Structure 1
């Protein structure tokens, strides 16, 4: 059976996300949920819980960054190439509050050679609370056993 012929890019993205999720104790430990995955796109959500608010009684910025970074990671690892963050920056626009459901949508902006650029919007409903930009770097290895699979 020719695996390359049977897996669509969407199938590959889902399979890579499943393999990555199995090992992602940080995202799971914070209660994150992978809502959607496609090639170059990932949507993750996290509910702001009491242990996530700081002294201002708003969601700790580091946790908002972590959610954005996790969405970025799933988006840049969706093509069966292992990729890591080379850089990430965030701009906070509004605070996340206790009980909010934060949704991070990561989109591939550019992918060339071993480098990629991804934008992540973190929102609560229709309100944008943060914008993140991450730069990725492909490293050796793949997520799926057939190393010839490319999306």
Structure 2
């Protein structure tokens, strides 16, 4: 017998399903992240984790990962995290602080976490670490929703 009452577990499952489907829809057209070898490890409402291995063609003149590639990874994790609510969401402002330079072959892990979301604005923190947990960069992204959704209305 169904009661017609939605439980918090059902709501959480629905939100997780929406987050995953939004990520799938975005990934299909995200040629930049794909070309850089990024992979989505996990996505959930307000959070996403992506990885990217540092290749030789990503090294700067000092033989370490060019900061622009770390920024791109963090920005992609940010994009997937802030688009988990089935609203088109774009970056309004981003900043990054570099803590250490990863070398060739390093597996970078960018974990984005929603700090606050209200109205059309959101705030996200992203940590870029190595497999050993070493912190390479911290990124803060401010988001803004724009018209449109990833999933058709049901």
TM (norm. structure 2) is 0.90
What are the equivalent positions in structure 2 for 1:9-20 lying under 5 Å apart? 9-20=15-26
How far has the Cα of 1:9 moved from its partner?
0.3
Task: Name the counterpart of 2:145.
Answer: 138
Q: 4+ residue runs of structure 1 moved beyond 2 angstroms? A: none
Q: Which moved more, 1:6-15 or 1:86-95?
A: 6-15
1:32 equivalent to 2:21? Answer no
Task: Name the counterpart of 1:79.
Answer: 85
1:97 paired residue among 103, 109, 114: 103
How far has the Cα of 1:126 moved from its partner?
1.2
Q: Which runs of 5+ in 1 are unaligned?
A: none
How far has the Cα of 1:34 moved from its partner?
0.4
Larger Rg: 2
TM (norm. structure 1) is 0.92
Cα distance in 2 between the residues matched to 1:109 and 1:96: 26
User: Number of residue pairs matched?
Assistant: 143
Q: Which runs of 5+ in 2 are unaligned?
A: 1-9
The alignment partner of 1:88 has SS state of strand
